[in-house]
Amino acid sequence: QQRTLLGKDSARTPAERDSALARAARITDSLAKGPGWLHWFAEYDPLPAARRVHSPVLILHGETDQQVPVSQARTLAAAMRAEGNQRVTLRIFPRMNHLMLDDPSGDPRGYATLPTKSVRRDMLGALADWLVRTL
């Protein structure tokens, strides 16, 4: 996330961006070393838990999500399938961001200025369809 936000800052030179990224990484590492949620979150690997899931799973992901890359959704689904769960459905929606909103760029800095704050209907339809088929 830091690379996404700081790496696209065109107001900074490449050297300034590199410096800002290094500074942000040091701050994050320092905070993550302390006790509490951020330490747990920084250290947590969801794949071992995902491999133990054998119930139906629906993963809905926005193609323009810049907070969690699509590759991570694919990795999660693959981990579940590799352990025998064939009831994993992965749906990736074009032009949908991390908040499940229509957003061609997915840049979190633009969330406040998106023309609509309504969750995408096609995503809600996919969820409803999956629930009907699965339950």
pLDDT tens digit at each of 135 positions of the chain: 777 777 777 788 888 888 888 888 888 888 889 888 888 988 999 999 999 999 999 999 999 999 999 999 999 999 999 999 999 999 999 999 999 999 999 999 899 999 999 999 999 999 999 999 999
Confidence (pTM): 0.83
Q: Output the pLDDT for position 116.
A: 94
Q: Output the pLDDT for position 50.
A: 96
Q: Output the pLDDT for position 29.
A: 87
Q: Is 93 left (phi over 0), alpha (psi -120 to 50) or beta?
A: beta
Q: What DSSP letter does each residue of 24-45 carry, written as one string?
A: HHHHHHHHHHSSSHHHHHHH--
